[in-house]
Amino acid sequence: MLSVSEAEARAAALVERAAKAGADAADALYYGDASTSVQVRLGELEDVSRSEGEQIGLRLFVGRRSASVSSSDLSDEALSALVERAAAMAREAPEDPYAGLAPDDRLLRGGAIDVEGDDGADPSPASLKARALATEEAARAVAGVTNSEGGGASAGRTILALGTSHGFCRGYTTSGYGGYASVIAGTGAGMQRDYSQHQVRHLADLEAAEITGRRAGERAVARLDPVRLTSGAMPVVFDPRVGGGLVGHLLGAIVGSAVARRTTFLLDKEGELVFPEGITIRDDPHRRRGLRSKPFDGEGLPTAPRELVAAGRLTGWLMDSASARQLGRAPTGHAVRGVAGPPGAGATNVHMEPGAVSKAELIADIVRGVYVTELIGQGVNGVTGDYSRGASGFLIENGEIGPPVAEITIAGNLIDMYRNLAAADDLEFRHSVNVPTLRIDGMTIAGA
């Protein structure tokens, strides 16, 4: 792989080529990655794979006209053709009054914050195999597990560099490691499947293989012999591994492009009480070793921690430069992009602050409800907020989590769901979006 300085030089050189070809402005994004993964099943090695690649993307402006192109061929001849193609496309593109690079005075200047995104480790395929085998073995050792879909371990590293025609040129690297197991419990028509996984930036933070595997096995066994659930309105409690999806819908609704198009259920809700006053949701791109931590965004603006929801109130929108111009605002440092196409907007490491009660206290007064551990399907309307998804989990009776339930549907509207949300105190940082156990009263349940 290239070093950061080499990647920066590649991006800067492509921008320089664009300027020589007549571009009024341009930016280039270099992305390289290398990864190794090992998969095992039933104690035997199934696959070892190694992938390495690099791509570069160019966004070129001629006045208010622009074009985006990308290539995985970084030879001199290929890059010359890339610039020519982008220039020709831009001259034929329609004018966009909001197009353009990020404002020069808002770019990251000076030192960048160290988010500890890369630990420099390089585990061998043999060590990854040993971890994968140990993970699956721990899952299969749980009483009641009868088969396995496999276990795995992976390690990888990425490098990103962004260069622009107004002088910005920065890059950084990230590492990533993971382990998982997926197993089956029971036999015949009564079989149930579940999984467990863990992903981190630093190898030292990856939980023991035995913990990941045992959790997968216990989850699968716990789902055996589900009971039928009658339909009705009742409280729904979301396990942290699925509750983050509720915040994910919020994030999709507050990006500047959705607001500008007026295609969000949170339109005109800025500054209003959307959640109960006890709910605060933060975006922290500077979290040490965070899965989405980064010193600058996809347009070269510095990133900064921010409250997206403060004491229940929606604080504003996530904006790249184009959507900010459309809304008459300033960009917020949330631009995200790939090597092909213009930037959009998105959050980084997001979490909901924990509540003041334990999980047991959160559900103690529920006479009959559902504890959801898996969600199925994509039945969420981002314009209206209507929510309807398949689910499985466990019955809650008289404040206790009881037998498993499956093949149910939970429904509501996100506006009402957010207003009736309560959080426990069991927040852990395991994903890019993290929440404690969440409770929403009055949801509609359709049983099997």
Same domain, 344 and 401: yes
CATH number of 116's domain: 3.30.2290.10
Q: Give the span between the Cα atoms of 446 and 22, in whole angstroms.
A: 61
Same domain, 297 and 402: yes
Task: Quote the pTM value.
Answer: 0.96
Confidence of residue 195 (pLDDT cuts 50, 70, 90): very high
What SS3 string covers the chain? CCCHHHHHHHHHHHHHHHHHCCCCEEEEEEEEEEEEEEEEECCEEEEEEEEEEEEEEEEEEECCEEEEEEECCCCHHHHHHHHHHHHHHHHHCCCCCCCCCCCHHHCCCCCCCCCCCCCCCCCCHHHHHHHHHHHHHHHHCCCCEEEEEEEEEEEEEEEEEEEECCCCEEEEEEEEEEEEEEEEECCHHHCEEEEEEEEECCHHHCCCHHHHHHHHHHHHHHCCCCECCCCEEEEEEECHHHHHHHHHHHHHHCEHHHHHHCCCCCCCCCCCECCCCCCCEEECCCCCCCCCCCCECCCCCECCCEEEEECCEECCCECCHHHHHHHCCCCCCCEECCCCCCCEECCCCEEECCCCECHHHHHCCCCEEEEEEEEECCCECCCCCEEEEEEEEEEEECCEEEEEEEEEEEEEEHHHHHHCEEEECCCCCCCCEECCCEEEEEEEEECC
Q: What is the predicted pLDDT for the residue at 447?
A: 85
Which candidate, 326, 284, 328, places its Cα nearest to that of 305? 284
Confidence of residue 377 (pLDDT cuts 50, 70, 90): confident
Same domain, 232 and 366: yes
Same domain, 304 and 389: yes
Helix (H, G, I), strand (E, B) or coil at 335: strand
Q: What is the predicted pLDDT for the residue at 244?
A: 97
Domain boundary among 221, 248, 270: 221
Whose tokens are 């496309």? That residue is 89
Query: Residue 66 pLDDT more than 70?
Result: yes
Rounded mean pLDDT of 50-78? 96
Rounded mean pLDDT of 27-44? 98
Same domain, 131 and 248: no
Confidence of residue 1 (pLDDT cuts 50, 70, 90): confident
Q: Give the span between the Cα atoms of 181 and 135, in whole angstroms.
A: 6
Q: What is the predicted pLDDT for the residue at 378?
A: 85
**Average pLDDT of the chain?**
97
Total tally of structural domains belonging to the chain: 2
Instruction: For 326-336, write each residue's pLDDT tens digit.
Output: 999 999 999 99
Q: What is the predicted pLDDT for the residue at 276?
A: 98
* Residue 401, strand partner residues: 396
Query: Residue 61 pLDDT more than 80?
Result: yes
Q: Give the span between the Cα atoms of 446 and 233, in whole angstroms.
A: 9
Same domain, 143 and 30: yes
Instruction: For 205-234, write each residue's pLDDT tens digit.
Output: 999 999 999 999 999 999 999 999 999 999
Instruction: For 417-427, write each residue's pLDDT tens digit.
Output: 999 999 999 99
Same domain, 426 and 315: yes
Same domain, 244 and 381: yes
Same domain, 158 and 183: yes
What percent of the chain stands above pLDDT 70?
100
Q: What is the predicted pLDDT for the residue at 424?
A: 98
Same domain, 214 and 233: no
Helix (H, G, I), strand (E, B) or coil at 414: helix
Rounded mean pLDDT of 27-50? 97
**74-to-71, 79, 115, 248, 269 alpha-carbon distances in Å:** 7, 6, 29, 36, 46
Confidence of residue 283 (pLDDT cuts 50, 70, 90): very high
Domain that holds residue 433: 226-448
Helix (H, G, I), strand (E, B) or coil at 317: coil
Query: Residue 448 pLDDT more than 70?
Result: no
Q: What is the predicted pLDDT for the residue at 264?
A: 98
Same domain, 283 and 326: yes
Same domain, 216 and 265: no
Task: Report phi then psi at 385, rounded to 5.
Answer: 85, 5
